[in-house]
């Protein structure tokens, strides 16, 4: 069986330890590979390689860095099909969905190709007599990235192209459940001319994560994953003086007002709830039907959920694949049972699904549960599967209050034909990313991505302009060349402009 290795200092490197974890094929339920689980020494070796590489990469020209990004972008285009197959085989999502995440990730590389503009400093002539001031930003050093299973290429691409284009070196600890896409990207970087040690991949679990959080040579950590781990990473790394951005989980509400085009809204909600089997941090998991919208909306949602073709990701006929593990499948099934037990109405029950020829795969069908209320587990928790709940609400204000009472604040959306109500909604919700008739409002690469409340710990959102700020620090220079004007005398008082 194939063993997936670390990529350290520009080459595949066997682990110092022999610990491994299985990598499943979620569509068949078969173990398809083993991935090495790094020990502290493996992480330290990767960080040392990155620290050595920083000496020259941190000093390399912007032209050299952007050339690597332009070439990487071309290689990501060239290998799109192969990458999509790797993602589908380990994650389970359908090929076209995998291509979607490759494209959205590639857009971050395109942003990094223009890092020259993002890194332009300021210059002020003559701030005092014969004194000029200017500022620029410099890289931090070694940056660590820790990423979740659900976007095995896009989420790491939110981080490393920007960090590296800014002059940092990078150690990625991807999800151990679908590790191969990261190794593929490491090889593409090498082909693009990135020097060894600038981008490293260590596979592993908590031991590897703790190794990054505790290594004194790691200057900053970007994390994306579930809220409890995001909180842990933020606390542990900030306590060691590191800069941290830790993006957590979500419960994304889509509010449907009675004046919305209900068929359009139902279509959008169906795609956003069940696409990628609901395993997206921006998936819509709660529809909030205002007034009499609910009675009209639920039958349309039911029809659309029942029509979804569930099957293996590599079958072009499949619209939705399996979930990531057998445990994830059982968790979703338990939430359906819990909702029913707490008095909600199960409209579509995904527990009964079987996929012919894939009886051992981790499949669970789309579920739709109506009349759900806060206090029920299926509403309060992030289920992270193909399960949409419908909550009834009497007004936009009540819907906004419901969203604001939720501990998460990643994404939300409103469906309406009333511009004034939409404006009231997007101004009133305590959520980082808001869609107006757009169900998954993931910002484009030239904006930054991030939630509020328990969906993000730290000050900076990820990628875009805030990503550049996160991976660099500012320097301001105040400069005088005394031979130009020697008449200025130094005084012991605090200097003021003159
Ligand atoms: P996860 O939190 O289990 O794992 C994320 C990373 O943390 C992985 O690399 C994993 O190896 C590591 N990890 C797991 N347990 C750990 C522990 N005890 N100590 C240290 N490290 C640990 O998340 P997941 O299941 O891979 O991904 C799904 C979650 O990620 C969902 O909650 C989803 O909402 C969230 N997510 C959020 C965003 C966002 O932008 N906010 C994006 C994608 C996914």
Q: What is the CATH number of the domain that holds 469?
A: 3.40.605.10
Assigned domain for 447 exists:
no
Q: Which residue has the tokens 């449907």?
A: 256
Substitution site in 229, 385, 433 for ligand 1 pocket (most atoms within 8 Å of beta carbon): 229
Band (490; pLDDT cuts 50, 70, 90): confident
Report yes or no: 47 and 35 within 8 Å, Cβ to Cβ.
no
CA distance 96 to 275: 11
Report yes or no: 53 and 173 within 8 Å, Cβ to Cβ.
no
Work out how many domains the chain is built from and give that number. 2
For residues 266 and 412, membership in a common domain is answered with yes
Atom of ligand 1 nearest to the CA of 205: 11
For residues 168 and 234, membership in a common domain is answered with yes
The set of catalytic residues is: 281
CATH number of residue 294's parent domain = 3.40.309.10
Is the shortest distance between the CB of 451 and ligand 1 below 6 Å?
Answer: yes
Task: Kindly provide the residue ranges of all beta strands, DSSP E only, lying in 121-226, ordered along the sequence.
Answer: 122-128, 131-139, 142-146, 169-173, 199-201, 218-224
Is the shortest distance between the CB of 416 and ligand 1 below 6 Å?
Answer: no
Distance 277 CA to ligand 1 centre (A): 17
Atom of ligand 1 nearest to the CA of 250: 34
For residues 358 and 417, membership in a common domain is answered with yes
Identify which has the larger pLDDT, 432 or 495: 432
CA distance 177 to 175: 5
How does the average pLDDT of the chain come out, rounded? 97
Distance 166 CA to ligand 1 centre (A): 25
Is the shortest distance between the CB of 155 and ligand 1 below 6 Å?
Answer: yes
Helix H or strand E segment including 25:
strand 20-25
For residues 307 and 411, membership in a common domain is answered with yes
For residues 256 and 242, membership in a common domain is answered with no
**439-474 per-residue burial string, b: 16 or more CB within 10 A, e: under 16:** bbbbbebeebbbbbbbbbbbebbbbbebbbbbbbee
Is the shortest distance between the CB of 382 and ligand 1 below 6 Å?
Answer: yes
* Residues of the domain holding 421: 252-436
For residues 240 and 318, membership in a common domain is answered with no
Assigned domain for 488 exists:
no
Q: Which residue has the tokens 């639920």?
A: 298
For residues 469 and 343, membership in a common domain is answered with no
For residues 406 and 429, membership in a common domain is answered with yes
Task: Kindly provide the residue ranges of all beta strands, DSSP E only, lying in 398-480, ordered along the sequence.
Answer: 408-409, 411-415, 433-436, 452-453, 456-457, 472-480
- % of residues, the chain, pLDDT over 70: 99
Distance 150 CA to ligand 1 centre (A): 9
For residues 146 and 256, membership in a common domain is answered with no
**Residues 6 or more apart from 474 whose CB is under 8 A from it?**
135, 136, 137
Task: State which of 382, 409, 436 marks the end of a domain.
Answer: 436
pLDDT greater than 70 at residue 487: no
Residue 89 vs residues 84, 153, 361, 403, 425: alpha-carbon distances, Å: 9, 13, 12, 36, 40
Is the shortest distance between the CB of 381 and ligand 1 below 6 Å?
Answer: no
pLDDT greater than 90 at residue 491: no
CA distance 463 to 467: 4
Band (159; pLDDT cuts 50, 70, 90): very high
The 10s digit of each residue's pLDDT in 379-405 is 999 999 999 999 999 999 999 999 999
- % of residues, the chain, pLDDT over 90: 95
For residues 232 and 282, membership in a common domain is answered with no
For residues 332 and 461, membership in a common domain is answered with no
pLDDT greater than 90 at residue 474: yes
Assigned domain for 305 exists:
yes
What's the pLDDT score for residue 282? 97
Helix axes 206-214, 227-239, angle to 10 degrees: 30
The 10s digit of each residue's pLDDT in 270-309 is 999 999 999 999 999 999 999 999 999 999 999 999 999 9
What's the pLDDT score for residue 488? 66
Average pLDDT over residues 217-238: 98
Atom 9 of ligand 1, residue of closest alpha carbon = 175
Distance 230 CA to ligand 1 centre (A): 7
Distance 396 CA to ligand 1 centre (A): 32
Assigned domain for 446 exists:
no
The 10s digit of each residue's pLDDT in 92-138 is 999 999 999 999 999 999 999 999 999 999 999 999 999 999 999 99
Atom of ligand 1 nearest to the CA of 175: 9
Assigned domain for 441 exists:
no
Is the shortest distance between the CB of 309 and ligand 1 below 6 Å?
Answer: no
Half-sphere exposure of 371 (CA within 13 A, CB side): 9
Atom of ligand 1 nearest to the CA of 226: 32
Assigned domain for 495 exists:
no
Band (5; pLDDT cuts 50, 70, 90): very high
Is the shortest distance between the CB of 154 and ligand 1 below 6 Å?
Answer: no
CA distance 320 to 480: 64
Assigned domain for 75 exists:
yes
Cross-sheet strand order for the sheet of 284-290: 345-348, 367-370, 387-393, 284-290, 252-256, 411-415, 433-436
What's the pLDDT score for residue 485? 59
Assigned domain for 484 exists:
no
pLDDT greater than 80 at residue 17: no
What's the pLDDT score for residue 18? 83
For residues 165 and 23, membership in a common domain is answered with yes
């Amino acid at each position: 069986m194939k063993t997936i290795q670390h990529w350290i200092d520009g080459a595949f490197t066997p682990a110092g330890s022999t610990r491994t974890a299985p990598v499943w094929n979620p569509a068949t339920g078969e173990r398809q590979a083993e991935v090495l689980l790094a020990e502290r020494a493996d992480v330290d070796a990767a960080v040392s390689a990155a620290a050595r590489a920083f000496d020259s990469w941190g000093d390399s020209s912007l032209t050299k860095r952007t050339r690597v990004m332009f070439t990487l972008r071309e290689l990501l285009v060239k290998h799109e099909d192969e990458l999509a197959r790797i993602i589908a085989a380990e994650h389970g999502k359908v090929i076209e969905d995998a291509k979607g995440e490759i494209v959205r990730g590639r857009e971050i590389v395109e942003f990094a190709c223009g890092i020259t503009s993002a890194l332009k400093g300021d210059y002020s002539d003559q701030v005092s007599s014969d004194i000029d001031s200017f500022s620029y930003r410099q890289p931090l050093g070694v940056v660590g990235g820790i990423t979740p299973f659900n976007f095995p290429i896009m989420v790491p691409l939110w981080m490393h192209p920007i960090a590296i284009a800014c002059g940092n070196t990078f150690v990625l600890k991807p999800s151990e459940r679908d590790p191969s896409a990261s190794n593929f990207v490491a090889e593409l970087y090498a082909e693009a001319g990135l020097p060894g040690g600038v981008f490293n991949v260590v596979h592993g679990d908590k031991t590897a994560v703790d190794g990054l959080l505790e290594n004194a040579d790691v200057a900053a950590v970007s994390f994306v994953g579930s809220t409890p781990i995001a909180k842990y990473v933020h606390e542990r790394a900030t306590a060691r003086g590191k800069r941290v951005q830790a993006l957590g989980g979500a419960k994304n509400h889509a509010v449907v007002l009675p004046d919305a085009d209900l068929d359009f809204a139902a279509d959008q909600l169906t795609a956003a709830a069940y696409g990628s089997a609901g395993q997206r941090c921006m998936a819509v998991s709660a529809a909030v039907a205002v007034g009499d919208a609910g009675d009209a909306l639920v039958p349309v949602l039911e029809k659309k959920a029942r029509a979804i073709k569930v099957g293996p990701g590599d079958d072009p006929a499949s619209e939705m694949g399996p979930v990531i593990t057998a445990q994830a499948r059982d968790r979703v099934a338990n939430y359906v049972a819990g909702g029913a037990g707490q008095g909600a109405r199960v409209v579509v029950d995904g527990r009964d699904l079987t996929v012919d020829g894939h009886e051992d795969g981790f499949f669970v069908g789309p579920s739709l549960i109506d009349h759900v209320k806060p206090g029920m587990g299926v509403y309060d928790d992030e289920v992270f599967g193909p399960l949409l709940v419908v909550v009834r609400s009497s007004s936009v204000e009540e819907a906004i209050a419901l969203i604001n009472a939720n501990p998460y604040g990643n994404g939300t959306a409103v469906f309406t034909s009333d511009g004034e109500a939409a404006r009231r909604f997007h101004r009133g919700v305590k959520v980082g990313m808001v869609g107006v008739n757009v169900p998954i409002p993931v910002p484009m690469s030239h904006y930054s991505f991030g939630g509020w409340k328990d969906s993000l710990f730290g000050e900076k959102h990820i990628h875009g302009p805030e990503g550049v700020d996160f991976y660099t620090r500012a320097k301001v220079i105040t400069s005088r060349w005394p031979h130009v004007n020697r008449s200025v005398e130094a005084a012991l008082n605090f200097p003021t402009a003159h």
